Chains A and B, each alone.
Chain A
Amino acid sequence: MTIHVAIILPFLMAFIISIINKKFTKIHIGWLALTVPIIVFIILARLIPIIASGNPYTHTYQWIPSLDINFTTYLDGLSMIFGLLISGIGSLVVLYSIFYLSSKESLQHFYCYLLLFMGAMLGVVFSDNLMVLYAFWELTSVSSFLLISFWHHRKASRAGAQKSMLITVTGGVSMLVGFIMLHMMTDSYSVHEIIHQIEHISEHELFIPAMILILLGAFTKSAQFPFHIWLPDAMEAPTPVSAYLHSATMVKAGIYLVARLSPIFGGEMLWFWIVTTVGLITLFWGSFNAVKQTDLKALLAFSTVSQLGLIMSLVGMGSVAYALDFEADTVIYTQATFAALFHLINHSTFKGALFMMVGIVDHEVGTRDIRRLGGLMSIMPLTFTVAVIGSLSMAGMPPFNGFLSKELFFAAVLHIKDLNLFSISSVGILFPVIAWIASVFTFIYCMIIIFKAFLGRPLIQKVERPVHEAPFPLLVAPFILCIMVISLFFFPNTLGKYILKPAMVSIYPNLAPAQKLTPEIHAWHGINTEILMTIAVILIGTILYRLLGKWMGIYRFYPPNWSLNALYVNVISGSESLSNKVTNSYMTGLLRHYAFYIYSFFIFSVGVFFFYSGAFSFSTENNASIEWYEWILIGVMLLAAISILFVKSRITAVILNGVLGFGVTFFFVLFRAPDLALTQLVVESVTTVLFLLCFYYLPEWSTEKLSISTKISNSIISITVGALVVVISLAVLNFDKFERISKYFEDAYNLAGGANIVNTILGDFRGFDTMLEVVVLFIAGLGVYTLIKFKAKKGGTDFED
């Protein structure tokens, strides 16, 4: 129940803020918003001991029980990490934004969106029900969309928001399909119930499709290659948003999902390969591209992409442990997951600090372009401290927490190299190589942050205002994060015991008793391959950084129109122009064409269906004989109908049409339908008169100039439709599966007191139809009246358009 409160609280506060913002002008409204993450953090922190002792905390609130969709919260170690990150970093970001955003901005919107996001994110990590998880997942996409486009007067903000929305929602929808497939396999939406059924579903035919679709959702959200392109564009958001959403929380939702579902899919070889490979590619590609960025925020965006790839690949490597038999020496592979969780926390701390640092630089100097920055160290020493701590931790240097997780990462890739499973041995050596190269690039861009922005030449151009150190309150949040960066280096095992261990237990439920599940983290573990790799990273990285100008040219090797962004733009604009073309090709505005489509569809659907269902059956044995006067009538009508096609004047056509009508009247007489004959006679006269009246005012009848192919296709269509209708009518005549109901009406005199059956049907048995037909007639009359009386005056507005 407490967890429900923690999820609902941000939504409640978002509502309150949007209501009372007008009355709350004296103080910055962010202070009100700040209470929410702090309260949530305290709530969660109080539950740490319970979770650490291995008792997950679960509660169900019935929402749609009939559909098996209930708001079930499940707090275990894994959710706890994310919950603490969301509320903890959330508090710091709100604190930072209070001093970052001026009160001229529309603050109530900002905090409303931010709290919406926070609540949605808490919902994602605490939900046990897949459908509820999906709902919150999409809510994070929506609130992130709103936050990215916070400065919606700027075109780039709108474009970035649109891009991130398109990509993450596309992934989200595919994830929904995957969830539904899981439900089809297991008949349950609860993650934990599905985990218990894992033996029964791994052979199911939907297992692999569900896995791939869910991974698609996780990869798009977590900005994995090739879906990472939305993240750099999302840097148009205010910096607190970038710090919160695009480094610490939302982009980790995909990692949360992969880690959460690892017990389900982890034993599958495909899962290991996809997650690890995509993670490694993202790791390399992000770090490689970060080096060439000139905007500090874009650099940090690519570095986030790269670090997320690192975490993702670690989660993938950790899934190997599911496939192996659980023995003492296979537990070693779970250390990859341990490293992933550890780095997840580390990354949130130092990346949050770095984003806040960039925000301060932007705030104080007015630019974040590293070509225009430089020599800020002496002016902004405190900001510089933050930058150094954050960057070195990101590069994996001691004495910061990044060092520890980087060492664990190297250890994990080295272990996986030796794994003799999944035919890994052939390509195993690639894992440490790619990891090492990516680390070199990481080192280089971290150096760029420190040296290009803060050291070196002073500012090239004069800025309008004198640059000075940021105000103290702005620095509080990044400093708290820096303190965490350092203290996590010195006391990693406290974190390991209380936070990481329960999370490991929830990722590896079957391995819970194993002692080695949470290794002791040592800052120094002797001279081994990992430390040698780190030393090599520093050496090669330093050399490459010094020679940066020499090899920057490799970024110009691939033409800009080959990039993934260009592909995205081409796909979007291409699909727009394609759909435009397709629509224009058949929506011609010519009624003749539409009639063509309608009749063709009729021919194909009805004709083909009847043909294949064997409905066309004829017999002539029940037919009545045709009298000579019927032949004459048919001949006259045929003559009139065919002549209509060839007559030159409209009046002739109308009169021939009348001939047809009166011919029908005769048929009614011949077939003993006096009421119909009477009505047909009068109605035919009236319509003929009306036709003549109307056509009197029409211009001369000019024959349409049609091309010969149109004429041919028109005649084919009309002949086919005619033939089809005739064939259907003949087949209907032969249909005798049901008894006729006309016997009932023959008793009309007793039932309705009338001898005229037709009239009793019209007035009594089926009076409802007649009543509505009367209404139809009335509406038609009113329509004619209004069309004529209220038509636009000459020269007035034409209402037709």
Chain B
Amino acid sequence: MKTNDVILKTVTKVVVFIILTMAVYLFFSGHYSPGGGFIGGLVLASAIVLMYLAAGIEIVHKGMPFDFKIIAAIGVLLATGTGFASVLFGQDFLTQAAIAVHFPLIGEKELASVVLFEAGVTLTVVGVVVTIILNISEGGE
């Protein structure tokens, strides 16, 4: 029997954006309020898992043709890379730096290298969680 999951699909379409926004918010606000790379990545991954649940693996894969293993690898590279970058500037390994930049529209904001590090964490979490869930659900058959 084919189930009619139109409600799920419709709700997903709306909810996914909320979750994604939430994830991005958690990611960026991490330095000043609760959140950060890890939790942001997990929420992001949950949005993706929700899409898989609602639409099926093939369709989502068509829309997001990423290999999540490679995303995880990029994340690890980014996280360790920021460590090495500070070495290039003559600092200790993993020294974080920040500069204040004046943006045309939003005014003066601080750009910190810790964001790159957090981005690495996030990408790794997303990649790994999605890889594990996809593989276990596929591999069981």
Contacts and interface: CB of A to CB of B under 8 A. Distances in A.
A768 B72 contact: no
B15 interface: no
A777 B128 contact: yes
Nearest to A694: B136
Contacts of A780: 128, 132
A778 interface: yes
Given A675-B39, A778-B75, A759 B31 contact: yes
A754 interface: yes
A685 B37 CA distance: 18
Interface string A92-135: 00000000000000000000000000000000000000000000
A690 B34 CA distance: 26
A667 to B, nearest CB: 16
Interface string B24-60: 0010001111111111001100100000000000000
Interface stretch (A77-85, A739-747, A784-792): A784-792
Among A756, A759, A774, A781, the most chain B Cβ lie within 10 Å of the Cβ of A774
A186 B82 CA distance: 59
B107 interface: no
A674 B33 CA distance: 9
Interface in A764-797: 764, 767-768, 770-771, 774-775, 777-778, 780-782, 784-785, 788-789
A763 B76 contact: no
B36 A778 contact: no
A735 interface: no
A753 B99 CA distance: 10
Contacts of B43: 682
Contact of B117 (A696, A697, A767): A767
Interface in B58-79: 69, 72-73, 75-76, 79
A777 B80 CA distance: 14
Given A674-B34, A780-B128, A788 B135 contact: yes
B132 A789 contact: no
Nearest to B141: A697
Contacts of B120: 774
A788 B121 contact: no
Contacts of B136: 690, 693-694, 784, 788
B83 A784 contact: no
Contact of A686 (B42, B83, B137): B42
A690 B49 CA distance: 12
A768 B42 contact: no
Contact of A763 (B36, B39, B132): B36
A367 interface: no
Interface residues of B, number: 47
Nearest to A673: B34
B97 to A, nearest CB: 9
A679 interface: yes
A686 B128 contact: no
B75 A682 contact: no
Given A760-B31, A780-B128, A784-B132, A768 B93 contact: yes
A784 B134 CA distance: 10
A139 B75 CA distance: 57
Interface string B115-133: 0011011001101110111
A379 B133 CA distance: 93
Contacts of A697: 140
B124 A774 contact: yes
A226 to B, nearest CB: 64
Among B33, B39, B96, B139, the most chain A Cβ lie within 10 Å of the Cβ of B39
Contact of B39 (A679, A690, A775, A785): A679
A683 interface: yes
A678 interface: yes
B87 interface: no
Nearest to B38: A679
A762 interface: yes
Given A679-B38, A756-B36, A768 B94 contact: yes
B20 interface: no
A696 B137 CA distance: 11
A717 B16 CA distance: 48
Interface string B86-117: 00000001101010000000000010101001
A774 B129 contact: no
A679 B42 contact: yes
A767 B140 contact: no
Contacts of A323: none
A180 interface: no
A696 B76 CA distance: 32
A429 interface: no
Contacts of A564: none
A679 B140 CA distance: 28
A774 B76 contact: yes
A755 interface: yes
Contact of B80 (A689, A771, A781, A782): A771
Nearest to A679: B39
A771 B125 CA distance: 12
Among A678, A693, A755, the most chain B Cβ lie within 10 Å of the Cβ of A678
A682 B26 CA distance: 13
A780 B34 CA distance: 26
Contacts of B96: 752, 763-764, 767
Given A686-B42, A768-B93, A763 B37 contact: yes
A758 B30 CA distance: 9
A785 B80 contact: no
28 contacts: A678-B26, A678-B34, A679-B42, A689-B133, A697-B140, A752-B96, A753-B98, A754-B114, A756-B35, A759-B35, A762-B38, A763-B37, A763-B96, A767-B117, A768-B94, A770-B121, A771-B94, A774-B75, A774-B120, A775-B80, A777-B72, A781-B72, A782-B69, A784-B135, A785-B69, A785-B131, A788-B136, A788-B138
Interface of A: 674-675, 678-679, 682-683, 685-686, 689-690, 693-694, 696-697, 752-756, 758-760, 762-764, 767-768, 770-771, 774-775, 777-778, 780-782, 784-785, 788-789
Interface of B: 26, 30-39, 42-43, 46, 69, 72-73, 75-76, 79-80, 83, 93-94, 96, 98, 110, 112, 114, 117-118, 120-121, 124-125, 127-129, 131-133, 135-140
Given A763-B31, A763-B117, A771-B94, 13 more contacts: A675-B34, A678-B34, A683-B42, A686-B46, A689-B133, A752-B96, A762-B38, A763-B36, A770-B79, A774-B79, A778-B72, A781-B129, A781-B131
Closest 4 CB pairs of A and B: A781-B128, A788-B139, A674-B34, A754-B31
